[in-house]
Chains A and B, each alone.
Chain A
Amino acid sequence: MIDLMLGELKRTWIQTLRYPSEVIGGVVILSAVFYGIFLGTQYMAGPSASFGTRLDTVVVGYVIWSLVLYIVNDIATNLQMEARTGTLEQVFLSPFGAPRVFFARAIASLTLRLLLTLVVIGIISLMTGSQLAFPPLLLLPLVALLLGAYGLAFFIGSLALVLKNVQQLLSLFQFFLFFLLAAPTEGWTGPAKMLVTVMPILPSTGLLRDLMARGVALDWTGFAIALANGLFYFVLGTLLFRWSEGKAKQQGSLGSY
């Protein structure tokens, strides 16, 4: 499994970095879109407005949104692309089984994406003066977030396996994610707070905003909830993916697009 992980890492890095202009373009677009949002907001608020920690929370929200969006699209986009280019069926001929291969692929592309995300954070901070904190404990809610995001990725991947064309669905999902990640859920109470607990990703994004933008210490109860939430969606997503693989094999549509 370690060899598979390293193999996937090498393949992903080579495929991405063989054409560096694509990578640079991605970083520039992500940074520019954020700067556009930032300038627009500043124009509406007036030149004397100071965003303070709100700017930092917005930066965290935006970065998480772009990261989660990438992760959620990753498996489905890869499945569709490889079905089109004709390598998908070769992947399903692996003795490791598809869920393990796609998990290894997800980890491999995540490492690359995290690095690019750090570059984007650096550029945004330089442009806006935002100062984010990176305490080591940050890793805990980040893991919970990634588990939840990969759960969703496997879920969308399952749909791509069975339904094939999920491009429209992915576009819709962007807005759903934007709502999930931009809503200031930390202040919600009562039934709305319960909703935050059971919705995917939400518990961990609140914790990340607290840690990175507001300088609040990690809430361990909140973390336990976020981890349970992440694990639940991850297991659900992988089980659904396994079922979809069987369904696609039954339909004879595994490699078609």
Chain B
Amino acid sequence: MSDLSTTPDDEARAATARSSAVLFQKPLALESEGLCKSYGRRKARFQAVRGVSLKIARGEVLAFLGPNGAGKTTTIKMIAGLIRPDVGWVKIAGQDPHREPEAHRGVGAVLEGNRNLYWRLTPLENLEYFGVLRGMSRREVRSRGLELLDAFGLLDKRKEPVQKLSRGMQQKIAIAVALIHRPQLLLLDEPTLGLDVEAGETVKKLVRQVAASGCAILLTTHQLNVAEELSDRVAIIRAGQIVAEQTTEDLIRQFSQGAAYRIEFEGELNEAKQRQVVALGASVDGQFIHYLPAPEADSATLYKILRTLEPLPLLEVRQDRPDLTDVFLQLVQTHD
């Protein structure tokens, strides 16, 4: 339940402060500032990304959300150094991937729609190859590969060609490959897309483990429940611009302001008390009271309703909080 004694403005200010606090407590794995990218020429020219700035601290998961064509993949690829921004800069652990190839040692990526793996190679051979490609020594890469296969529960599949494994296993290997060189930043573009429920749960568990190990994660997904479960912060992009960026909890809480309360009590409310409740702007339906606060209302009315119920036992006081999907839709539709 949200804090009942604060106003929406207080909430927003507190959210920004908490968000900053999270950022500045830990060293930053990613800093990007004012990224812009346009495609096409003359009349066909369109701005895919307009001034996107993102920061992610080590161990933090940032869900980067937006409708199709909003600029998520272009932004991720600009961060990885695969697309050159027209304006703006990127620093991964202090290094610019567009100027210093060494910066790639700090980033791992699982890109959407891509296999990211060589299908004729086994999981261990893929890990060994990509480890060397990321600048690790051959000796180091073998032990690290086995360690990751063990951690991801794939040790018994290490000698099977990747093409013979299930989609879920392939995705786990792709994430393991992205982590082989112990990057400080992991870019995950739709990591649970096309996976069955069980494989999706496994990938979510892995993402949590990776973040707990201190790796920063930039996650894009259309499965907003996945984003809500995994992310510490959310950035929502619409038509190339960030329209919201806050901690996940604060963003949802902010959108809970003005949401309806449902109070369940035991026993019978006499007529006089029912009139008092209705006079306070709520409605009574058997053993339930429904109360929708006015947009600028504080929590005083809610407490007055609760006092009216005294001494009847309260069974539940619940606010119908929106989930990330509601928040996302509201934000995206507001900016349409």
Contact = CB atoms under 8 A, between A and B. Distances in A.
B32 to A, nearest CB: 16
Main SS class of interface, A = helix
B130 A95 contact: no
B104 A254 contact: no
A15 B39 contact: no
A252 to B, nearest CB: 4
Given A85-B115, A86-B114, A252-B39, A97 B133 contact: no
Given A87-B114, A95-B134, A101-B133, A252 B77 contact: yes
A89 B111 contact: yes
B128 A7 contact: yes
A212 B200 CA distance: 61
A86 B115 contact: yes
A50 to B, nearest CB: 47
B83 A7 contact: no
A93 B109 contact: yes
Interface in B160-208: 161, 177
Interface string B91-108: 000000000011111010
Given A15-B120, A15-B121, A87-B118, A7 B113 contact: no
Nearest to B107: A93
Instruction: Give the contact-size bracket for chain B.
Output: 35 or more
Nearest to A5: B132
Instruction: Give the contact-size bracket for chain A.
Output: 20 to 34
A87 B84 contact: no
A95 B115 contact: no
Contacts of A6: 132, 138
Contact of B82 (A87, A92, A95): A92
A191 to B, nearest CB: 43
B129 A7 contact: yes
Given A86-B111, A86-B114, A249-B82, 13 more contacts: A3-B137, A18-B161, A85-B119, A89-B114, A93-B104, A94-B101, A95-B104, A95-B134, A250-B84, A252-B37, A252-B74, A255-B111, A255-B114
20 contacts: A3-B136, A4-B132, A7-B129, A7-B133, A14-B120, A15-B121, A86-B114, A89-B109, A89-B114, A90-B114, A90-B116, A91-B133, A93-B81, A93-B104, A94-B104, A94-B134, A95-B101, A95-B103, A95-B135, A251-B39
Closest 3 CB pairs of A and B: A86-B114, A7-B132, A86-B115
